[in-house]
Structure 1
Amino acid sequence: MWRDESVTCQAAHRPLGRLLALLGHIDAVHGLYYLLLHGVFALWDGGLVALRLPSVLATALAAAGVGALGTRLAGPRTGVLAGVVFALFPATQQYAQEGRSYALVTAGVVWATYLLLRGLGSAGRGWWAGYGVLLAVACWVHEFAALVLCAHAMTLWLLRMPWRRWGVAAAGVLVAVAPLAVISARQADRQLGWLGRPSLAMWLAFLAVSALGLLLSRVPSLSDRTLTAVALPLLIVPPGLLITGSLLKPCYVDRYVLYALAGLALLAGLALDRLPAHLGRAAVCLLALALLPASLAVRTPESRKDDVVAVAQTVRKLSRPGDGVLFLPARRREWLMSYPTLYARLNDLALARSPAASRTLQGTELPADTIRTRLLATPRVIALTDPDGQPLDPFPEESVKRRTLREHFQECGRVRVWGAQVVVYVRKPAPGSLALRCQYRERR
């Protein structure tokens, strides 16, 4: 479990009133997902399995949807191959095993695209109603699902299909998601303040995947006009809009538009279908082998920014009941929030109001002078910090933590885990006694 999953876990475990209060302050964009997980934990508090089970089921549903799209557009063999390719993508597998909303959004967008095709091929209104409702729900799970409307508009333009019924459904989706958009816009600085503008590596990754999709769509013997008109906009338009918009206001993370991979899977499935049967089977096997190292890598803690489980286990080994605990920076409090029993046995020296009481994810902290006073009154402190080399927050509260530890404490042990460090500090006593205390702790 990494920090984002820890946030999901502790938010979904809050009483309903406090969860709604949190969403009024931050993370409204994930509100419907947190409410879903709140219901899951109410029925069965199964730890990591319960946390991740909705994502596993949603990914299976998304893969089935890719298969249904491929079948409708180019036949059952294309559908099966496209669904298999989608499941083989390492990114698909990563978010299938993560307690966040992106797999559910992908399933919603894929099946909404399927309903779009059924609506285009039918005179009935039921398909369009289903399309609008499903896509509105997907947007409430994460509002960037709305970018797929631009991809669907391009699909209609490429296929020269009438726009009226789609326009009514799309307008309904936008009206339905408008309240969420207004609330999340007010929270944008708190929600996305950690993001910078897209790096060169992000641009190259986007361009490389787009170029691969364009290549598959342009090979004469492999191309199919209808499938290309659906798959290529789905692959390029949502991430293209998001990464370009991030030049003005940083908001691009590839997982926000994970559903775009369904477009690449459709194009790959069609390409494999156009090959002779024996070559197609061999190509799928080679693809699986080529992606195997990446598929194994996303199943390791190193595939995430940190390892909350390892942090908690280390704190449990190094700490004693009543020890002071300090988070540098304060937002790293999320590392222990999912372990209430462990957290309760420590004295959080900087905490003013708990996350639940303050309607925040990490709680609010005391003034710098008060933090310093409480630190100086504590003989032993467990500090949870970022790895070496990470930028340091310039806020007075963070500065006083670092300065007081440096001037009045001695480090007695440091354990590095993935994405974090757990450091034991002892208050400087009379000369000559500190070394004995550190050595004693190290022997234990």
Structure 2
Amino acid sequence: MTLDTRVPAAPGAVLPPVPVRRRSPRPAAAVVVSAPMALTVALGLWGVRRQNTLWGDEVVTRQLARRDLSQIWHTAQHVDLVHALYYAVMHGVFGLFGDGLTALRLPSVLAMSVAAGGVGLLALRLAGPRAALWTGLVFPVLPQVQKYAQEGRSYAMVCALVAWATYVLVAGVRHRGRWRWAVYGSLMLLACLLHEFAVLALVAHGVTLAVSRVPRPVARAWGVAAAGVVAALVPLAVLSAGQSEQVSWIDGPVRPRYFLVVAVVGLACARTALGTRGPVRLPALALPILVLPGLLLLIASPFKPLFVDRYVLYADIGVALLLGAWLDRFHRRSSRTAWIAVVAVLAALVPPSIALRTPQSRSNDATAVGAAVREAGRPGDGLLYLSGRHRVLTGADPGDTRFLTDLALARDPVASGTLTGVEFPAREIAARMLEFDRIVAVRAADAHASADPRERAKTATLRRHFRAHATNRVSGARITVYVREDGPSATGGTRSRSR
């Protein structure tokens, strides 16, 4: 039995206020992290195999990740250095789980779920639990997030690292500590090593701190961390600059439609007072990361076309934060109208969400291209790529081209340490073409005339000595069967000359 030894208060005495217990933030944090992660995984696994198809970039991932680490490094020194770390990661994944479609895309699903958890936790710190839950649930349903959560490329991983680096940045402003800035620098460096354009998020973070007028020691600590990231990234940037041919395909008109739409939506949401008071306000963080990376790439486009929306996928962190905070404010004013609006938006997102899980959602369908080549070719036919870098379009299944002779290929991709192999000189390609009566030519749908002597020799030889017999257009490519003007009919037997 415990005795109450408290002395009773005298009549009329004023009692001291009883301290109010603050609710622990842990339950709220658990919800705003776990709910978005679960939704992201569910959406990511829905149709993840995309009708058992691959597109060209995923073919590259699969082919390179199948090589051993020394071969990956050898290839990276010649081409695609910016993705070398990602290929090494996927090499480990394939070693554990095989190289099937699920193993190819599941790391992106999981990485995007980690990003969603980080976005929810970031919103919790900036805008409170209800806005955080809205934000965490908005992020996974954004079209670009859904798309690249199912992509066998590095963009989801970069987005996850930037999301958590941003959270550490905001936490570091309130709670100073060298270890936080070391974690921030490490996360940002890893993101930049996976894809160099993650460095643009570093620029956005700098603008956020500048407009937030944080204490000088905080700005100095961020500056040291940012300088360390840039210094470590310089060798990669210098070496990869010599591989600029890898982005030479970005030569068409800039299509920033998605970027412009989300930027306008974000700016509209930011006009309302959002978030809680603190050293870093939500709009000051969200707007720079939403607008600046894409804007900088657009500004550079007249000089060097570099804008591709997936390169700055992490900009969706900004629009999710702004939309989530705006929805919370709207819900407080009119909950019934808010729910009606949410249901309407979700219903409108269903058709594009379904479309994103079809082969037509990508710029090409390497599985369909390979199948069309297999159907058009006959054993012993010649195979010609216009241009050679489009060899990946038939790389989904090696069996599709097994019985055809690649007329231009001198050394295969593995032996040459390249993505698409090394081709013969122009004169030898032309001579080899004349040894065949039928040639199956593969041309990308958006291919342009090339000044490369090899490509000119291919097209000139086809024009002078062959005629187009049949053309099949599939997603992202044209497959044309050419027959010799003086050879047997296209419906007759196939033979090679002087083999």
- Given the two structures, how large is their TM-score scaled by the length of structure 2? 0.81
For 2:287, the equivalent position in structure 1 comes to: 232
For 1:212, the equivalent position in structure 2 comes to: 265
AA partner of residue 426 (structure 1): V
Instruction: State the shift of 1:169 in Å.
Output: 1.5
Cα 1:75–1:224 change in 2 (3 A) is: closer
Q: Is the 8 A contact 1:159 1:229 kept in 2?
A: yes
For 1:241, the equivalent position in structure 2 comes to: 296
For 1:194, the equivalent position in structure 2 comes to: 249
Gaps of 5+ in 2: 1-53, 495-499
Secondary structure of 1:399 counterpart: helix
For 2:326, the equivalent position in structure 1 comes to: 271
Whole-Å separation in 1 of the counterparts to 2:491 and 2:148: 48
Secondary structure of 1:55 counterpart: helix
Q: Which shows bigger deviation, 264-273 or 70-79?
A: 70-79
For 1:174, the equivalent position in structure 2 comes to: 230
Instruction: State the shift of 1:264 in Å.
Output: 0.5
AA partner of residue 227 (structure 1): L
Q: Does 1:417 align with 2:470?
A: no
For 1:336, the equivalent position in structure 2 comes to: 394
Gaps of 5+ in 1: 440-444
Of residues 361, 371, 374, the one that matches 1:316 is 374
Of residues 101, 115, 131, the one that matches 1:62 is 115
Secondary structure of 2:106 counterpart: helix
Instruction: State the shift of 1:435 in Å.
Output: 5.8
Of residues 123, 144, 159, the one that matches 1:106 is 159
For 1:19, the equivalent position in structure 2 comes to: 72
Aligned length: 432
Of residues 28, 31, 38, the one that matches 2:84 is 31
Cα 1:87–1:424 change in 2 (3 A) is: same
AA partner of residue 288 (structure 1): L
Instruction: State the shift of 1:385 in Å.
Output: 1.6
Q: Is the 8 A contact 2:367 2:397 kept in 1?
A: no
Q: Does 1:261 align with 2:316?
A: yes
Q: Does 1:361 align with 2:419?
A: yes
Whole-Å separation in 1 of the counterparts to 2:478 and 2:252: 28
Of residues 127, 135, 139, the one that matches 2:180 is 127
Identity of aligned residues (%): 48
Of residues 277, 295, 306, the one that matches 1:251 is 306
Q: Does 1:8 align with 2:66?
A: no
Q: Which shows bigger deviation, 360-369 or 104-113?
A: 360-369
Q: Is the 8 A contact 1:108 1:134 kept in 2?
A: yes
Whole-Å separation in 2 of the counterparts to 1:381 and 1:78: 61
Q: Which shows bigger deviation, 256-265 or 223-232?
A: 223-232
Greater Rg over alpha carbons, structure: 2
Instruction: Report Cα offsets for 1:277-300 as digits up to 9, x if no partner.
Output: 333333322221222222222222
Structure 1 segment 293-312 matched on structure 2, within 5 A: 293-312=351-370
Q: Is the 8 A contact 1:197 1:246 kept in 2?
A: no
For 1:406, the equivalent position in structure 2 comes to: 463
Q: Does 1:286 align with 2:339?
A: no
AA partner of residue 192 (structure 2): C
Whole-Å separation in 1 of the counterparts to 2:458 and 2:63: 25
Instruction: Report Cα offsets for 1:304-351 as digits up to 9, x if no partner.
Output: 211100011222233333322111111111112342343343211111
Instruction: State the shift of 1:198 in Å.
Output: 6.1
Q: Is the 8 A contact 2:58 2:151 kept in 1?
A: yes
Instruction: Report Cα offsets for 1:196-221 as digits up to 9, x if no partner.
Output: 3863x42x65444323222211124x
Secondary structure of 1:437 counterpart: coil
Instruction: State the shift of 1:420 in Å.
Output: 1.0
AA partner of residue 375 (structure 2): K
Whole-Å separation in 2 of the counterparts to 1:113 and 1:223: 16
RMSD: 2.2
Q: Which shows bigger deviation, 409-418 or 353-362?
A: 409-418
Instruction: State the shift of 1:224 in Å.
Output: 5.3
Runs of 4+ in structure 1 off by over 6 angstroms are none
Secondary structure of 1:275 counterpart: helix
Structure 1 segment 368-383 matched on structure 2, within 5 A: 368-383=426-441
Instruction: State the shift of 1:407 in Å.
Output: 3.5
Whole-Å separation in 2 of the counterparts to 1:269 and 1:435: 62
AA partner of residue 99 (structure 1): G
Instruction: State the shift of 1:152 in Å.
Output: 1.0
Q: Which shows bigger deviation, 396-405 or 160-169?
A: 396-405
Q: Is the 8 A contact 1:192 1:251 kept in 2?
A: yes
For 1:51, the equivalent position in structure 2 comes to: 104
Secondary structure of 1:393 counterpart: coil
Instruction: State the shift of 1:258 in Å.
Output: 0.7
Q: Is the 8 A contact 2:441 2:482 kept in 1?
A: yes
Q: Is the 8 A contact 1:352 1:365 kept in 2?
A: yes
Cα 1:339–1:286 change in 2 (3 A) is: same
Cα 1:22–1:390 change in 2 (3 A) is: closer
Q: Does 1:326 align with 2:384?
A: yes
Instruction: State the shift of 1:13 in Å.
Output: 1.4
Whole-Å separation in 2 of the counterparts to 1:416 and 1:197: 20
Instruction: State the shift of 1:272 in Å.
Output: 0.5
Whole-Å separation in 2 of the counterparts to 1:424 and 1:46: 32
Whole-Å separation in 1 of the counterparts to 2:491 and 2:290: 62
Whole-Å separation in 2 of the counterparts to 1:66 and 1:386: 38
Whole-Å separation in 1 of the counterparts to 2:197 and 2:490: 55
